[in-house]
Amino acid sequence: MNAEILRELRMAVMSYDAMKAEELVRRAVDEGLDPLACADVLTEAIREVGDKFEEGELFLPDLMAAASVLERATPILKREIERSGKKMRNLGRVVIGTVFGDIHSIGKTLVAALLTAAGFEVIDLGVNVKASEFIDAVKRYDPDILAMSALLTTTAPEQRKVIEALERENLRGKVKIMVGGGPITQEFAEDIGADGYAATAPEAVKLAEKLIGEKG
């Protein structure tokens, strides 16, 4: 019975059936199944979707859909885990936003969704986020990682501005910084002093995991 529920849960993610996933997770909780085991299945499933995306077998809508399934099912598991005195696997805290002057949100939202699905705690500041707002968020939330998105060449320089502002406030050493978006390149990321650059959303998750590892 247990193995079956876990198997069906994986299938629910792979077939993007958020309602089914929610139903299964509630059933699992009712039947006293280990919620952490369920959470692990969800994480593994979305990782599988991410891998298939990287291989060219699945596409962006599939990533988004899989992330939505987790968005629906995970809070139920989280409540149950905390209720039983345990802790949800939390890889780290990420503050994410699209920089000032830029209102593109799809890429940033996808990264946020996949990071959440992978087990990070994500605070999404939205779009058109001023440098001062990023600084305030770093002070307020004390994240492990600050992630910035920019989709226009005219707004890419904002990423540099934020890093410089963090340096001025002696906060640079407290966070790992990752950047992404259309005009962003590895070269640009190194030039502005970021800790990493990812070209795709699944790569961003792997990068975040690596940066957390570096933080130690």
Partner 1 sequence: MRKGFMRKIKPLEILTKEQVEAIHRGTLDILERTGVRFEDDRALKFLEDSGCHVDYKERRVRFPSHLVEESIRRCPSSFYVKARDPEDDMRIGGNTLYFMSFAGLRICDPYTGETRAPTLAENDEAVRISDALENLDCFPSYTPYFEIEGVEPPMLCPISTASRIRNSTKISRSAQIADAPIWDIKMAEVVGMQMLGNMEASPPLTYYEDATKAAFKFGEVGFPVYIASGGVMGGSAPATIVGSTISNNAEMLAAVVMLQLIRPGIGIVANDFVFPMNMRNGSPHFGSLGCSLHQMIFNQIWHGYYGIPTVNAAAGASNSKLVDYQNGYEKMFVALTAALSGANIIALHGGVTAELSYHPIQAILDDDIACLVGRTIEGVEVTPETMAIEVINEVGPIPGHFLDKEHTRRWWKKEHFMPKAADMLSYPEWLRKGRKKALEYAKDRMEEILKTHKPKPLSEDENREIDEILREAREYYKEREML
Min dist CB 110 to partner 1, Å, is 8
Residue 59 touches partner 1, criterion: CB under 8 A: yes
Residues 177-196 contacting partner 1, CB under 8 A: 182-183
Dihedral in degrees, nearest 10, Cα atoms 33, 36, 42, 46: -160
| Residue range at the interface with partner 1 (CB under 8 A); choices 2-10, 23-31, 57-65, 91-99 | 57-65
Residues near 127 by beta carbon (within 8 Å), at least 6 away in sequence: 97, 98, 102, 103, 104, 105, 108
Which range in 7-15, 113-121, 136-144, 149-157 contacts partner 1 by CB under 8 A? 149-157
Residue with smaller CB distance to partner 1, 126 or 157: 157
- Backbone angle region of 6, left / alpha / beta, with phi > 0 → left and psi within -120 to 50 → alpha: alpha
Sheet with 196-197: strands ordered across: 120-124, 92-98, 145-149, 176-180, 196-197
Selected from 136, 154, 167, 190, the binder of partner 1 by CB under 8 A is 154
Among 15, 90, 132, 153, binds partner 1 (CB under 8 A): 153
- Least distance from C-beta 153 to partner 1, angstroms? 5
Nearer residue to partner 1 within complex by CB, 2 or 185:
185
How far is 13 from 70, CA to CA, in rounded Å? Answer: 8
